[in-house]
Amino acid sequence: MASSQPPLENSEFSIVSVQELNKDPNITVPNSYFRPDQEPPKLLNGNHYFPAIPTIDLERLVSKEQAEFELAKLESTCKEWGIFQLVNHGVSSSLLEKLKFEIQEFFNLPLEEKMKYKIKPDDFEGKTLNTEIKEMEELFEDGMQSVRFNYYPPCSKPELVMGLAPHSDATVITILNQLNGVDGLHIKKDSVWIPVSILPEALAINLGDILEIMSNGLYQSVEHRASINSVKERISIAFFVGPKFDAEIGPARSLINPENPPLFKRIGTEEYFKSFFSRKLKGKTNLEYMKIEHGEGMHHNI
């Protein structure tokens, strides 16, 4: 199993078996999980109302009558949210149930068995709008795909620990399924953390940094983090959709002109992921690295 995402923070994090820890009634939380400085979700107007992330219906998107409306909704969601929940996606619930069962079995394996699947930092697992569409197709055809299973144990002091640090995905898109139906994803929107409640039958689709770069900042990748539940374990599966290995990452050429100069550099996929892997998960730092400094713009080979 490999991932186009970094290993989770550091080796201490990945070697400790959280299932084993959780069996210990006198559990002390390892330092690597400790995040006493996390920004709390912001309650709007002092009450517990949080805006729901938009829902996109794939059946409507491909239907004759409703495609136009749904596409407009998808476009504004990509600009304003960088995440949506996809319904009527065609992935059968029996398949998801099977996946849930098998992943639960996996997490229950002894630590030595699980370590055989440990992600190495430079692991890559391949295979798996007119001119813009062509550029997109070229980028994705034979694109890299990888998957990460996330297990978050319950913790009686959830406000002191963090499941997954704030980050945006380095991908084009990420398809996220909350396998056991427990919420815990938070997204940052307009500088405010919002807990996300995902419909049981929906898949969450996150826009990754590559889409922000390709769209030259028109669409935004979503900064997100995973919180811990005080009583329930949480299992999520993130399916990362990436570009092909020998592609270039940069703003779509068809979008660039003197009025709309490139905001991001153009570099090879390998260099892009090397840069990503060399960092800790920390907000949108990888995207920052890709930004063209002010005034530098037109010197880049577009």
Ligand X SMILES: O=C(O)CCC(=O)C(=O)O
Tell me if 144 contacts ligand X by CB under 6 A. no
Terminus-to-terminus CA distance in the chain, angstroms? Answer: 35
Tell me if 148 contacts ligand X by CB under 6 A. yes
* Residues shown for the chain: 302
Residue with Cβ nearer ligand X (196 or 256): 196
CA distances from 279 to 102, 238, 265, 286 (A): 31, 20, 18, 8
Name which of 99, 104, 138 is nearest 252 in CA terms: 138
Tell me if 224 contacts ligand X by CB under 6 A. yes
Spatial distance between the Cα atoms of 42 and 60, rounded to a whole number of angstroms: 33
Tell me if 188 contacts ligand X by CB under 6 A. no
The residue within the footprint of ligand X, chosen from 56, 74, 176, 187 (CB under 6 A), is: 176
CB 266 within 8 Å of CB 148: no
Tell me if 169 contacts Fe ion by CB under 5 A. yes
The residue within the footprint of ligand X, chosen from 78, 86, 238, 287 (CB under 6 A), is: 238
User: What's the min distance (Å) between Cβ of 165 and ligand X?
Assistant: 10
CB 78 within 8 Å of CB 86: no
Give 146's strand partners. Answer: 240
**Amino acid, single-letter form, for residue 269:** T
The residue within the footprint of ligand X, chosen from 56, 74, 162, 185 (CB under 6 A), is: 185
Locate 64 and state its tokens. 């004759």
Tell me if 4 contacts ligand X by CB under 6 A. no
Residue with Cβ nearer ligand X (91 or 165): 165
User: Could you tell me where the DSSP H helices lie in the chain?
Assistant: 11-15, 18-23, 58-61, 67-80, 93-107, 111-115, 131-140, 209-214, 269-277, 285-290
Tell me if 85 contacts ligand X by CB under 6 A. no
User: What's the min distance (Å) between Cβ of 184 and ligand X?
Assistant: 6
Residue with Cβ nearer Fe ion (3 or 77): 3
User: What's the min distance (Å) between Cβ of 178 and ligand X?
Assistant: 7
Name which of 193, 169, 198 is nearest 4 in CA terms: 169
Spatial distance between the Cα atoms of 115 and 7, rounded to a whole number of angstroms: 13
Q: To the nearest 10°, the Cα dihedral for 6, 50, 178, 40?
A: 40
Residue with Cβ nearer ligand X (135 or 169): 169
Question: Which does residue 243 bind out of Fe ion, ligand X, none, counting CB within 5 to 8 angstroms by kind?
Answer: none
**Amino acid, single-letter form, for residue 59:** E
Question: Which does residue 150 bind out of Fe ion, ligand X, none, counting CB within 5 to 8 angstroms by kind?
Answer: ligand X
Tell me if 150 contacts ligand X by CB under 6 A. yes
Binding mask 99-138 for Fe ion (x = CB under 5 A): ----------------------------------------
User: What's the min distance (Å) between Cβ of 176 and ligand X?
Assistant: 6
- Per CB under 6 A, residues contacting ligand X are 5, 148, 150, 164, 169, 176, 184-185, 224, 226, 236, 238
